[in-house]
Amino acid sequence: MLPIITCFPGVGILGTFRFLLALSVALGHFGTVFGYYMMNGRMAVQCFYMISGFLISLVLSNKYDPATADGRWLFYTNRALRIFVPYWSFCLLIFAGHALIYFALGIQFGVDAALVQHWPEMTLITRIYLLFSNIFIVTQEWSMWLVYQSGAITPVWNSDQYASHLGAFQIIPQAWSVSLELMFYALAPFLLRRHSLLLLAIIVATYLLRSAAQAWGFNGSGFVYRFFPFEIGLFLAGALSHRVYAHLNSRGLINSRLCSAVSVLLLGTVLVQQFIDRLDNHTFYILVVVALPAMFDVSRRIRLDSLLGDLSYPIYLAHLAVLGFGEIVATAVIGPLENRNWLIIGMVAGTVLVAIAYVHWIDAPFERWRQRRAVRERQERTSVAGYGGQGIGLVQTPA
């Protein structure tokens, strides 16, 4: 049988893809550079959902045993460590940066200033929600259906129409997408054990519901790309993509050269997507789902690609804070900025440097411990199971 899937030897793609998606989100918040923005941030976030589905399906089928309580516990705790340690680290770094700016320039800004100004008038429920969502991330996407009014939180159908957005009280407001990821992780050990036809049916149902919601006028940002019942279809599409990869790989049908061609083509499409109207939104997602097996097959052999992929989450967490600090420092040193293009280039470079520093000095040592913990616990479970027990099996994103 002829090989079905492949990239040119030495070219890594999936980590590079994640890196570019993170930069796309950053540019979506920074602004264009001489009119160029790569891909709009919403599409980048939804591509991340599909990648997560692929990688979580991978680790659940090779690294953990989702059928047992011990396997699920190990998966949940390792995922929590992978998500919350970087998140809490950047929260502390952001507060430290705010303090440094305040003592150096006498400027109070960001979430610190918003909380200090409005805290006395906030109701107890408002305070509990803001503390809970800032610490545990979950429910941050609710800001698309909640507005802040005179200390209280009021539910609305679309907060886009209101100026009092709750994002002003979030330390890392873009972390709302991580909230959706956490909910998927909670369901994944149970949902990804189901038949592929059931997963496909759920995907179709989410798209039908999405279309119905838009037809009825529910087209605010919350329903377009932040509503979990709709977005879970993208997670599951990534999971099905992994099943296709596993099926082809088990039969020796993976061809590295075809994978390289597919991967490079998709990567090039990301760079020019803004100029091709026909590749907007969910049409592009079909290409991503088809290309994920090829990108993974190439990337799992390339160390540099893995390093680029490791930068994506820190870039995502850090970029808005870097922008805030950068604008204040640049204005204080240079004065009012008429041309923001060079500022944005500097902010992108600064964000990448912050991510590199974080991965090198904080994340890498912690990640080595986390992986040793997973291996040790699997070995202990295997030992307890007896001589006949069998141990459980990301290469891009360690689980």
Q: Any idea where the domains of the chain sit in the sequence?
A: 14-110+177-385
Return the pLDDT at 28: 94
DSSP letter at 147?
E
Say if strands 152-155 and 146-149 run parallel, antiparallel, or are unpaired: antiparallel
**Residue 87: half-sphere exposure toward Cβ, Cα within 13 Å:** 23
Distance, CA of 366 to CA of 362 (rounded, Å): 7
User: Which two tokens mark 29?
Assistant: 């918040």
Distance, CA of 100 to CA of 114 (rounded, Å): 17
Distance, CA of 362 to CA of 122 (rounded, Å): 36
Return the pLDDT at 142: 96
DSSP letter at 293?
H
Return the pLDDT at 4: 31
Sign of torsion over alpha carbons 196, 292, 294, 188: negative
Distance, CA of 107 to CA of 104 (rounded, Å): 8
**3-state SS, residue 165:** strand
Q: Is the pTM of this model over 0.85?
A: yes
Return the pLDDT at 368: 81
DSSP letter at 5?
B
Please name which of 90, 57, 89, 51 lies closest in space to residue 75, comparing C-alpha atoms. 57
Q: What contacts 395, CB < 8 A, 6 or more positions away?
A: 296, 299, 300, 306
Return the pLDDT at 366: 83
Q: What is the pLDDT along the chain (399 residues), one digit of tens a residue?
A: 333 333 323 334 799 999 999 999 999 999 999 999 888 899 999 999 999 999 999 999 988 889 999 899 999 999 999 999 999 999 999 999 999 999 998 998 889 899 999 999 999 999 999 999 999 999 999 999 999 999 999 999 999 888 878 999 999 999 999 999 999 999 999 999 999 999 999 999 999 999 999 999 998 989 999 999 999 999 999 999 999 999 999 999 999 889 989 999 999 999 988 888 777 788 899 999 999 999 999 887 777 888 899 999 999 999 999 999 999 999 888 888 788 899 999 999 999 999 999 999 999 888 888 777 667 666 665 665 443 333 222 333 445
Q: What is the pLDDT of residues 91-127, one digit of tens each?
A: 999 999 999 999 998 998 889 899 999 999 999 999 9
